[in-house]
Chain A
Amino acid sequence: MIKKFSIVAAGLMSVALIGAAIAHESQNPAVKARTSIMQLYAFNIGTLGGMAKGEMEYDAEAATRAANNLVVLTQIDQSAMWPAGTDNVADPSNRALPAIWENFPDVGAKGQAMVDAAAVMQAAAGQDVEALKGAMKGLGGACSACHKAYRAPKN
């Protein structure tokens, strides 16, 4: 009896563990796609930020390449990556708030602000490190504006 109970308990536990592992990352291809774009942003901004902070030596060409990538990223049409039912209520494995689907015009305006900020960085990145530093603020502001309104806190 006890043995049977332990087997059932172990079985339940592994189901729970697998559940937790799945919950960690969304399996929805649309969510995966948009999350990948965010990672590409972070990677390229990382190059620019490293130079802005003085952790990396300023290199006009590398900075320009990173900034060009940002501009390309802002040009990707993401409309198929935000299907209904992929908000954090329907799919708790991601942090997209339902408000996104209720405020498309505002989301679009914030997206345009990101396009503009990337263009400013593209013009600044190759000039010198001071220009690059100056453009970081606008870039971060554009990211944060959308994250504050439309992304759930981490925990």
Chain B
Amino acid sequence: MDFLAALIPLLPFLAASVIGIGMLLGWITGEKSESTTSTISIGSASLSTLLAFALLVGDLTGNGAGTYSIGQWLHSDLLQVEINFITTGFNVYLTALFAILLLIATRFSVNYLHREIGFHRYFFLLNLYTSAMLLLVSAGSTVGTFIGWEIAGLCSYLLINYAYDRDVPATNATRVFITNRIGDAGFVLGIGLSFFYADAVNWDDLNNIATQLSMPTATVIALCFTIAAFCKSAQLPFSPWLARAMEGPTPSSAIFYGAVMIHSGVFLMIMLQPLIEQAPFVMMLLAVTGFFTAAYSFVVGWTQTDVKSSLCFAITGQIGLMFMECGLGLWELAAWHLCAHAIVRCYQVLASPSFMTNVHGSPVKALSPHLQKIHWLYVASIQRFWLDPITDRVLTRPIKGLGEDLNFFDDYVVDRAMGDPVSSSRSISTLKQLEEKIKGTETLGDTPRHFGRGNGIAGKLMEWSGNILGWFEERLVIQAIGVNIIDLGRTLGHAANTFEELMLKPRYIVLFVFVFLLIAGTR
């Protein structure tokens, strides 16, 4: 019975592979192949759904073993990652629910995307995503869930980028993926730390050992996973990515950000219930962040003028409430909330293109007059609490600036210090140089030629020692100093000034703190 769990994500993966290979080799192309693609997609999604329900019945009637393992995926010393699945409880309910929602969205897309240029690409990605999501909710190990997590994120990137020949989707997709990458780093850190502290790669092992972990350890591990969850479920401070992600085709928005993927953060928290209960701080963080995200979404939602944006903030708001429920210890409620929300949102987002016709003639209810008077709240709502500009200011720009400075440093300091034989080899490589040579106006050759000329630290040292020896050879000719030393002093002073200015920039102060921590951490 339990072996079905392995087939559920495998079938859509095979469908994606068939469509992908077909596209690459030119077998599946154009409108005439649309029926092939849709048959494959719907077939695999239906089979997965049937299997998921079979598994659900098996679990409800008590015929399931609880876990199923195919075998080892990765093995290195004590680290042993298996390809295994959880075939009981919440995971199975969610697998069944998500499978059917994914099937519905797939069927909806067949008509919605008819005669679109990217039809086959869309279905390739949708199948891959179906597979990833079903793996995410059924995988038994942290690594397995992460694989689903990451591939779902990649599909999200590629579907936001569905109209890749326009600038806006491409920019948004990149930004969404990079924001999510921060959460992914938290997840990997969580995987690493749970292996390090608890020798646990499987969710069951981690939860079983959770009660034996000390509170700080449990807090650190839980915190890593919490960051990942906040990021994936668009909680504060990561919320802005969701509005950018609505760029993709509507059915994909419904299934990614309405029904399925957006809930994976809450799912992760519910999975880790025993661990998180060991960490009161994380519980508090969940409740507080959830509350603030709900409040933020509520306020920003007021001023949204299009359907997709309104829905987007409604979604983050509801999910914020789910996190709050988790934080308050109402795990069961959060689980029910998740399932109910997934179903309602799937319908709402799928139906959003016809929303305008449906509500024609019934105007939107105005905001209460008390709230209308609070102007700062209105501005904040319009500006979405300045989250994007703040991120730019605090994170993006300093990193970019650091990159610029390092680039300059590499070109003008490191490269020169290490030496570069460009000027010393004096080969003629451009036509201009050749002409100059013929005319005798060579710009490279106007300095007197020394026998040995060096570049960089090593080169200069050689050159200097050579010069000193030459100087002795010429029987200690007295050289005049004076002008040179003043020039040198001036140059040095200038360099020191620039250095001082650079060092006072906040990004370097932060950098020094990091370097200090790095060194302090190693000793």
Q: Do A and B come from one complex?
A: no
Question: Chain A: residues with CB nearer than 8 A to chain B?
Answer: none
